[in-house]
Structure 1
Amino acid sequence: MDNPKIWLSSPHMGGTEQKYIKEAFDDNWVAPLGPNVNGLEADLESFLREEKKIAAVSAGTAALHLALILSGVEAGDEVICQSLTFSASANPIVYQGATPVFVDSEPDTWNICPDALEEAIKDRIALGKKPKAIIAVHLYGMPYKVDEIHAVAGKYSIPVIEDAAEALGSHYKGQNCGTFGPMAILSFNGNKIITTSGGGALVCPDEGLKKRAVFLATQARDQAAHYQHSHIGYNYRMSNICAGIGRGQMEVLEERVAQRRAMHAFYTEVFSDVEGITLLKEPDEDYFCNHWLTAILTESFEQREALRLAMEEDNIESRPIWKPMHLQPVFKEAPYYGGGIAEDIFDKGLCLPSGSNLTDTDRDRIRSAVMKFLNL
């Protein structure tokens, strides 16, 4: 295997990250606070618009945990969660001692199904367990059905927490993902569209809730000369060094979105004449996807696995779609509502190399591997 590795989604530096990091070292701001943290939060607020406030934290998972706490989720509560997602969407529910209630996807965006969502809400209310929150995911950067989901949530007065970990730069009807619910989360993990090495952000509706989030994320220390704590806190604040990477990354965010979308266009052309293989794409002009990852549906589990292994043989990384949470051993006792859409997508779906730093040579290798597999 002499060819260099083509990764699914690797970090892509823009060139100015080291300037911000150097400033942090020069000024000795090597701590979970400082100018870069403040600057990154301001950069994100400017990008998202909608008068949102940002709290930069150590991970998207930390942001979601804080969102649940701020939503009043406690032990014994229930929280509805999209099943077709990464485990980090569901794990913080359990951190709070609450129970996840999983809901199936719909086939257009692969995100939470409005009909199954309402079925779940009605049934949980009938059982005396009205859900405290709904976690809706913009899977692989594709906006969920915003109007339909928020209409259902509003009907039953249940807040929606947007998991926009994969969706920075995506929008629906011109409004950025991460700004539709009262709170949302972003991720800057090393494989995301921009990165802070590790990190995330909580999107808040106002300054008051942001201050509460930062208080909890910095060990919930009371105002006192000594160390006094009246609440359980967490060590969740982002470091000034990581935030410096993020400030440099924000300068190239629009470019990265364009490059990811160009990779999706490349795959659209590659598979244009191939029967039985379809791409996850925007349902209509209301949707704008950053295409963080380009994902396809094959005709069967066997075809998906054969293609994945054929690409692996050429040192090209691809990855099955997230295994639905209701199929995970750790969540085997959790309630589930819907049919088999998520399971079918998992069985037949594959994520393809989508990095913004892929070259023409990389694309030629990917095309050749696919064509060889398809005997074209």
Structure 2
Amino acid sequence: MKSTITYDKIFLSSPHMSDEGYEMQYVKEAFDTNWIAPLGENVNKFEEELARKVGSTDAAALSSGTAAIHLALKAAEVGEGDIVFCPTLTFSATANPIIYQNATPVFIDSDYETWNMCPKALEVAFEKYPEVKAVIVVHLYGLSADMDKIMEICNKHGVAVIEDAAESLGTYYKGKHTGTFGDYGIFSFNGNKIITTSGGGMLVSNNTEKIEKSRFWATQSRDQARHYQHSELGFNYRMSNVSAGIGRGQLKVLDQRVEKKREIYDFYKKELGELEGIQFMPINEWDEPNCWLSSMTLTGKIRPIDIFEALEAENIESRPVWKPMHLQPFFEKYDFVGEGVSERLFEDGVCLPSDTKMTEEELQRVVKTIKGLWV
């Protein structure tokens, strides 16, 4: 039933600018120096600062996380007819660039221990497709995949590893930043991410030659010549100097945002974790997640749709867990390796509002609405 009380909307995860105004300082600098066009000091510094923050050698600031995955695949020499393993439980932006390269995705199931790529399913996939060219790993909702097991398998087969850390900036696996275990890591600064540039992404790697080549591709593959000359296919993928200024300011408050996200998760788990049929996303002892979206599964009489509709009636945003790629109309023709764990997580999963601007009162509104379904 629709509530008759009008409340301010509580968002799932919206942009949160710093109270100190760091972003405007860098943006103003871009305007004052007239460097509002695609490249400039903010882009260079954002690349350096992000790489230093996560412990990577080099980074390329790009227009989106999707662009970063695309260039990572290109850097890994993935091309027409090549097979790329990809988690099925993810957003389509993880899988789309595989198609951009005219390659073939094979989707890998999740496990309940991490909600991420299942190492056992990955091993089965290698037995079935030993000629695979690359593996994309996702750190879903800020939860780290089990990178030791996954890297051991991938190294044994000698394939390139690309980490989609779009949702996990600020997450650590055994004390090391996610996005820095594989050959390439990608981060997203979309408006709903833990920090934002309004839209943008970053490709990181310890291979400086590949990062430099990626910057070249991202600027339309313009050769060093007095005239416009292009010997390779290029892309318009570079981040603007203004956006990079926002990113530099946001990076200063990343640790604060992670702390708040974790507080939100702890609050929900404390308030809702004892309700019948609720189980929260798993946090392993080796995982220090950024808790980008606090998520849970429901296995009792209360179903996800009940949660969605109750929260919606109170002007509170929530959403399902990602629908697996192998169930998507566009991707259903591609192979899937697994036992259906991802499907059950999708059917049972709920992502709760995890906006870092939420007040104590707003958090109470969320849990009160949910608890009302158990009365």
TM-score for the superposition, normalised by structure 2 = 0.97
Q: CA deviation at 1:207?
A: 2.2
Match for residue 16 of structure 1? 22
Alignment of 1:4-43 (within 5 A): 4-14=8-18, 15-43=21-49
The secondary structure found in structure 2 opposite 1:56 is strand
Instruction: Report the Cα distance in structure 1 between the residues aligned to 2:187 and 2:239, rounded to whole angstroms.
Output: 13
Instruction: Report the Cα distance in structure 2 between the residues aligned to 1:334 and 1:54, rounded to whole angstroms.
Output: 32
Match for residue 157 of structure 1? 158
Instruction: Report the Cα distance in structure 2 between the residues aligned to 1:269 and 1:337, rounded to whole angstroms.
Output: 35
Q: Considering only aligned residues, what root-mean-square deviation do their CA atoms show, in Å?
A: 1.1
Instruction: Report the Cα distance in structure 2 between the residues aligned to 1:25 and 1:197, rounded to whole angstroms.
Output: 17
Alignment of 1:359-370 (within 5 A): 359-370=359-370
Match for residue 79 of structure 2? 74
Q: Does 1:226 align with 2:227?
A: yes
Q: CA deviation at 1:358?
A: 0.6
Residue-by-residue CA offset, 1:106-165 (whole Å, 9 max, x unaligned):
10110001111111111112xxxx111000100000000111111111111111100000
Match for residue 278 of structure 2? 277
Q: CA deviation at 1:206?
A: 2.8
Match for residue 311 of structure 1? 311
Instruction: Report the Cα distance in structure 2 between the residues aligned to 1:73 and 1:273, rounded to whole angstroms.
Output: 47
Residue-by-residue CA offset, 1:154-198 (whole Å, 9 max, x unaligned):
111111100000000001110000100010100000000000000
Q: CA deviation at 1:213?
A: 0.6
The secondary structure found in structure 2 opposite 1:329 is coil
The secondary structure found in structure 2 opposite 1:228 is coil
Runs (5+) with no aligned partner, structure 1: none
Instruction: Report the Cα distance in structure 1 between the residues aligned to 2:124 and 2:374, rounded to whole angstroms.
Output: 41
The secondary structure found in structure 1 opposite 2:315 is coil
Q: Which runs of 4+ in 1 moved over 6 A?
A: none
Alignment of 1:33-72 (within 5 A): 33-49=39-55, 51-72=56-77
Match for residue 373 of structure 2? 373
Q: CA deviation at 1:300?
A: 5.6
Is the Cα–Cα contact under 8 Å of residues 300 and 347 in structure 1 kept in the other structure? no
TM-score for the superposition, normalised by structure 1 = 0.96
Q: Does 1:190 align with 2:191?
A: yes
Q: CA deviation at 1:372?
A: 1.2
Is the Cα–Cα contact under 8 Å of residues 311 and 317 in structure 1 kept in the other structure? yes
Instruction: Report the Cα distance in structure 1 between the residues aligned to 2:341 and 2:77, rounded to whole angstroms.
Output: 31
Is the Cα–Cα contact under 8 Å of residues 161 and 181 in structure 1 kept in the other structure? yes
Return the match for 1:89 from 87, 94, 98: 94
1:35 maps to amino acid: E
Q: CA deviation at 1:296?
A: 0.2
Residue-by-residue CA offset, 1:241-297 (whole Å, 9 max, x unaligned):
00010011011000000000000001111113212101003122x110000000000
Match for residue 294 of structure 2? 294
Q: CA deviation at 1:308?
A: 1.2
CA pair 200-318 structure 1, distance change in 2 beyond 3 A: same
Is the Cα–Cα contact under 8 Å of residues 300 and 348 in structure 1 kept in the other structure? no
Q: CA deviation at 1:72?
A: 0.4
Instruction: Report the Cα distance in structure 2 between the residues aligned to 1:311 and 1:167, rounded to whole angstroms.
Output: 26
Instruction: Report the Cα distance in structure 2 between the residues aligned to 1:282 and 1:82, rounded to whole angstroms.
Output: 19
Instruction: Report the Cα distance in structure 1 between the residues aligned to 2:216 and 2:240, rounded to whole angstroms.
Output: 15
Instruction: Report the Cα distance in structure 2 between the residues aligned to 1:301 and 1:186, rounded to whole angstroms.
Output: 38
The secondary structure found in structure 1 opposite 2:117 is coil
